[in-house]
Amino acid sequence: MGLLVLLLAGGVIAEIALLYAICGFAMGAIALFKGLMNGPGPKLTGTLRSAHPWLSWGMYAVLVLSSGITLRALMGNGSFGIPLPRLYFVTLSIVALHAIFHLWRHTALGDGALQRITPKALHGIL
């Protein structure tokens, strides 16, 4: 997410955009070959529990798609008419909704969602 914020704040800097694309493809590949590294948690029930894996795969799809469009634009083949700053804004908006969902899980459900996605050194402040 840091690279995404840098691209939004500083404009499309080729080196940062290339690093973003590489990291996005790497994360997508890890998810594809190792599977999802998260789960719905024990307190998430009903429709949200059923939708959780699909939403996770959707997040990876958005990341890989924006990485691919970024790489295509860097290679001089265009971005399918999508301005890269707009693509990054939409991607960051989706990431922000995902973060809000985890905050809701952690606070309303009390299922430790933030502890599952943060390093152990930070668990004491959660």
Name the token pair of 6.
């840098």
Query: Which span out of 35-44, 81-90, 94-103 was modeled with the highest average pLDDT?
Result: 81-90
Task: Please say if the pLDDT value at position 117 is more than 80.
Answer: no
Nearest one of 64, 86, 69, 71 to 14, comparing CA atoms: 71
Which helix (H) or strand (E) segment holds residue 126: the answer is none
Amino acid letter for position 123: H
For 7-31, what is each residue's pLDDT tens digit? Answer: 999 888 999 999 999 999 999 999 9
For 50-106, give the secondary structure using H, E and C. HHHHHHHHHHHHHHHHHHHHHHHHHCCCCCCCCCHHHHHHHHHHHHHHHHHHHHHHH
Give the up-direction half-sphere exposure of residue 100: CA atoms within 13 A in the CB hemisphere: 6
In Å, how far from its chain's centre is CA 124?
25
For 26-78, what is each residue's pLDDT tens digit? Answer: 999 999 999 887 778 788 889 989 998 998 999 999 999 999 999 999 999 98
Would you say 23 and 14 are in contact if contact means Cβ atoms under 8 Å apart?
no
